[in-house]
Amino acid sequence: MTANGTVGSAFSYNITASNSPTSYNATGLPAGLSVSTSSGAITGTPTASGTSSVTISAINAYGTGTGTLTLTVNAAGSAPVITSASTAAGTVGSAFSYNITATNSPTSYNATGLPAGLSVNTSSGAITGTPTASGTSTVTLSAINAYGTGTAALTLAVNPASSGTTSIGIQFVGSGTALTATSSAGVVAQSHWNPLTGATFSSVVLNDRTGAATAATLTGSADGSYFCGSTFPAGSGDSNLCSGELFCGAFTTETNTTTVSGIPYAQYDVYVYAECDAVGRNATFALTPSGGSTQYYSLQTTSSASAWTQSTNTWNGSGTAPSLPVANYVKFTGLTASSFTLKFGGAASNVSVNGIQIVKNP
């Protein structure tokens, strides 16, 4: 016979026997427990952990029956204590990952006060996502088990994606509104954009974020008419950046070809801000660095996505479209070629590009 208890928790066990016992007993009980000789109930609150061999007995007029009860008292349980780092840092537009860790075998986790773009997996404690705005947040972490909840504060700093003179911004304005130095647009801070009109470009010299000319040039064209002031921007964002776009009127990633040459950065990321003529459309963007392999990212457009939401889906636009994430920009990262070609299109839709940013990395 066996029974289990826990230090500091009420314990109960009843001795039962045949042939109508008139009294009971138990010897060798752990500290904190006692037996009722009239009912056979062993009760109390154990005060120390360990395993005891308890002799139990039941008595009637004809004799005494005995048995052995192996009684294990477990140590008292404790709420989790969070052991993961109290500080963490991320970057706007870049994938972020942090794991909540704790003692005493948590069964679930939580985090409140997370920056926009991040979420917590309550089963594993993983905090992941892509931050959309810079700033410092005080996040309350929690780890839960049957004995309670442990909490801790995480100071989470999200840094801007770029600073200084290390980025080139291209805005396809058309008859829309050009961005100014004080505009808040896109994911990366950009005090000067290259505002381009029309749908065809030939070796247009591109300035950096200070307005100084660089060696980079843009050449390309769109297959559709130039379109401005879309009713359905692909998610909320800066109204000026979304007020004009380079337009594609056919389903293909091959018709629209835009090439940037003479990129002055040894390594860089490319952000492409996109929209469509209606919500729920699929859009695909293909970037081919000179001498390298093509990268693909796809998204589904909406009129109400958070600003800014990144797509990480790598569908290449062929065949039946999968379920695509709602987003309004894509990011091609870790590029090293001195030039790249961007092509874009979408299934049964008019896909457009609002702007492009080339950001030095790191």
Residues 200-215 pLDDT 10s: 899 999 999 888 899 9
* Cα–Cα separations (whole angstroms), residue 14 to 3, 34, 72, 181, 354: 10, 11, 15, 81, 77
- As a whole number of angstroms, the distance between CA 247 and CA 244 comes to 9
**Residue 73, both tokens:** 């008292």
| 102 half-sphere exposure, CB direction, 13 A CA radius | 26
The yes-or-no verdict on residue 331 having pLDDT over 60 is: yes
- The number of residues making up the chain comes to 362
Residues 157-171 pLDDT 10s: 887 665 555 899 999
Q: What are phi and psi of 140, to 5 degrees?
A: -90, 115
Domains and CATH numbers, the chain: 2-74 (2.60.40.10), 87-159 (2.60.40.10), 167-360 (2.60.120)
Using only C-alpha atoms, what is the Rg of the chain?
33
Label residue 112 by pLDDT band (50, 70, 90). very high
Label residue 238 by pLDDT band (50, 70, 90). confident
C-alpha closest to that of 97 among 74, 76, 124: 124
Label residue 21 by pLDDT band (50, 70, 90). very high
Lowest mean pLDDT among 174-178, 216-220, 266-270: 174-178
